[in-house]
Amino acid sequence: MSEFGNPGKQYERTRHNMGYDVIDMFSNNLNLNFSSKSTGEYIKCKIEKKDVILLKPTTFMNLSGKALLEFINFFKIDKNKIIVIYDDKDLDVGTIRIRKNGSNGGHNGIKSIEQVTNQFIRIRIGIGKPKFKDDMINHVIAKVSNTEYDELKKGIIKGYNSVIDILKYGVDIAMNKNNININKINNKKEKRKNKMDKKIKVLVAKPGLDGHDRGAKVVARALRDAGFEVVYTGLRRTPEQIAEAALQEDVNVIAMSILSGAHPHLFPKVVDLVRAEGMNDVLIIGGGVIPETDIPALKKAGISEVFTPGTPTSELVDYIKAHVKA
């Protein structure tokens, strides 16, 4: 795995060194130090039970291919098993894209790598565009403020997690999990902006193999009576179906009901899928026959609140009104 950046203290905490920062995160988390060769610093390690070489070329970015070639030859690396992480001005700050292949987009580091191989996985970390078009050089190599770096770090963390996902699940699943459709998100934001005076929309869902939905229908009716727009999924829905329905219906709230005892697995799975689609402002709540001892773990997994049997529907209505983000 190779990461782009420019060597030297003067380039630390710059937008051009996103790849370096991902590698440094692995180094810190694994508590491993770098070894050196003539064209790069590297760490040999295991990640998700796979042998991995983490490479930081010490050439300048436009010569990254030279460093990669040295390591390919020395360690007998399969050219089809290379991941390259780099900054991308065409992506918003805090976002990433994983691609199996693609164009170099004018990126000098990628142009250099392509002289060695075209068969590599690309993880692009968004750094955004400068305010003024002719300020690009300063934008990518100037040191950023602490506030700016905090925003950039969101993309660095996503890049780190995406590497783990690729190694654990494969690139296809990693792409589905990590690639966010920006146009879809922007369209939803615009819709929300124009729907300030419209009803709160709630998806009532029954995940798993439950065969009873009387309680879910009671909740749906109470929410409609309170003035909410309600969509009911029906029985026996998978987490994937629930997440897709939430995306297609552009809901404000997902309210899940479960009786089977599978909530420790199914509720967090829905949260992960919904957030992976970029629906970070959707309120996700749960209810049903759920032991009090399970509730803290569900909240930690992203369930905002859990409503157990006997909770007045008015309490559910009030909670949604208080916590939905317009």
**Residue-number span of the structural domain to which 67 is assigned:** 2-179
Tell me how far apart the alpha carbons of residues 142 and 138 are, in angstroms, rounded to a whole number. Answer: 5
CATH number at residue 112: 3.40.50.1470
Looking at the domain assignment, is residue 184 inside a domain?
no
Assess whether 294 and 158 both reside in one domain: no
pTM of the predicted model as reported, rounded to 2 decimal places: 0.55
Is residue 303 domain-resident? Answer: yes
| The dihedral formed by the CA atoms of 259, 261, 263 and 266, expressed in degrees to the nearest 10 | -100
Place of tokens 């070329």: 57
Return all residues near 149 (Cβ < 8 A) that are at least 6 apart: 13
* 262 and 241 within one domain: yes
Q: Tell me: do 151 and 227 sit in the same domain.
A: no
Residue 262 lies in a domain: yes
**Among 236, 267, 238, residue whose Cα is nearest residue 254:** 267
From first to last of its 326 residues, the chain has per-residue pLDDT tens of 555 555 556 667 888 889 999 999 999 999 999 999 998 999 999 999 999 999 999 887 788 889 999 999 999 999 889 999 999 988 999 899 999 888 877 788 889 999 999 889 999 999 998 877 667 778 888 888 999 999 999 999 999 999 999 999 999 999 988 886 554 555 555 555 555 457 899 999 999 988 888 889 999 999 999 999 999 999 999 999 999 999 988 999 999 999 999 999 999 999 999 998 889 999 999 999 999 999 999 999 999 999 999 999 999 999 999 999 65
User: Which helix (H) or strand (E) is 55 found in, with range?
Assistant: strand 50-57
Is there a domain that residue 63 lies in? yes
Does one domain contain both 222 and 317? yes
* Same structural domain, 23 and 152: yes
**What residues act catalytically?**
16
Amino acid at 277: E
